[in-house]
Structure 1
Amino acid sequence: MRRQTATGGINPAGSSRSLRLDPLSLPVSFAARDSRADGGIRQIELHRECVTLHRAVRGMKMTISVRVSEFIGVTVRETADGRALVLLHRDPSLVIPLLVTEDADERAVAWQAWSEILALPQLADDRRDPAPRRRRSNTISGRRPTFLMRRRGGDLLNPAAIYRGEREIIARH
């Protein structure tokens, strides 16, 4: 099994070079920026079935494994390095960069290839406001409990409404 690394293979060495992963050479292992991780770097292992992230946050090392099917799709995003092709997840900390380039043709070819290899949809611009959370509503919560539905409701401010013309019986011993 051949691996691509950050210092060789498809991803060329040098800090001025852009990220360029080959979808036909999976599995791939590389480092990516992570603003929350110690040192600002996380290690990513990308396979056809799963993605594994290794990072340390405040000295605590963690490994996160996510199935590829749990990702939403492949999309293009604007990053500090340029326009990037990313593997999009609902959790922003799990978004995986796949390709960083300004060449639109190269990006389109890679977008199609990654989408086919990972069996994920190609998504258009994902930069939109997130939908507001739906409030849970329950129609039964407004109803009275069953044992109270058998009883008549009363009006505490109007005692005459409780007796409805009946004579009050007072038991004496």
Structure 2
Amino acid sequence: MRRQTATSGTNPAGSSRALRLDPLSLPLSFDAHDTRADGGVRKIELHRERVVLRRAVHGMRMSVNINVRDFLGVALRGLDDAQMLVLVHRDPSLSIPLLVSSDTDEIASAWQTWSEIFALPQLPEDKVREPAARRRRHNAIRTRRPKFLVRRRAGDLLNAANLHDGEREIIARD
């Protein structure tokens, strides 16, 4: 298998050309902008079946291995003067830019090609879903009685049937 170097996968630093990855030459290895990473850059390895993201945050290096089928699809997003193809994940920080161009024919053909290679749907700009809201966790055990109390029958101390002839119940403790 042929592997692209960091300079052939994307443009070198200082280049004015936009991001343009070749979907027919996978696996790809390239750098992408990441605001939270040290140095503002993360390294991405793009394979047909998986994506590996490598970055360092506050000196701690991490590597995230994601299956391609975990992504939602290939989305088209509008920029100021161009459009961008993005491999969209539910977590926006894991989404991957694939192509930036102002040529609509190039965008359309690349969109179709990336979608076919990854077997993911094409998501137009308005159909991209927002990340799912975090679900609140409910504690199911909170309402249960402790195990040692389950064997005992629950009583009602304030029930009038438990008191005899107007007596007041006195509880003495040592």
SS in structure 2 at match of 1:76 = strand
Q: Deviations over 1:4-33 (max 9, x none)?
A: 234226x44452111111111100000100
TM-score (norm 1): 0.72
What is the letter of the counterpart of residue 17 of structure 2?
A: R
Q: What TM-score do you get using the length of structure 2 for normalisation?
A: 0.72
Partners of 1:25 and 1:55 in 2: how far apart? 23
**Residues 60-79 of structure 1 aligned to structure 2 (within 5 Å):** 60-79=60-79
Q: Tell me, in whole angstroms, the C-alpha distance in 2 between the residues paired with 1:120 and 1:82.
A: 23
- RMSD between aligned residues: 3.3
Kept in 2, the 8 Å contact 1:50–1:67? The answer is yes
Cα separation, 1, equivalents of 2:19 and 2:81: 9
By how many angstroms is 1:105 displaced?
Answer: 1.1
Structure 1: runs of 5+ lacking an equivalent: 163-173
Q: Deviations over 1:106-130 (max 9, x none)?
A: 1010000000001000011145655
- For the 8 Å contact 2:29–2:46, the answer to whether it is kept is yes
Identity %: 62
Change over 3 Å in CA distance of 1:131–1:40 after alignment to 2: closer
Q: Deviations over 1:18-73 (max 9, x none)?
A: 11111111000001000110011011000000000110011101111000010000
Which consecutive unaligned segments of at least 5 residues does structure 2 have?
Answer: 144-150, 163-174
Paired residue secondary structure (1:7): helix
Deviation (angstroms), 1:102: 1.1
**Partner-residue secondary structure (3-state), 1:30:** strand
Q: What is the CA deviation profile of residues 116-164 of structure 1, one whole-angstrom value per residue up to 9, with x for unaligned ones?
A: 0010000111456556567789xxxx9xxxx9xxx9x9x9xxx7899xx
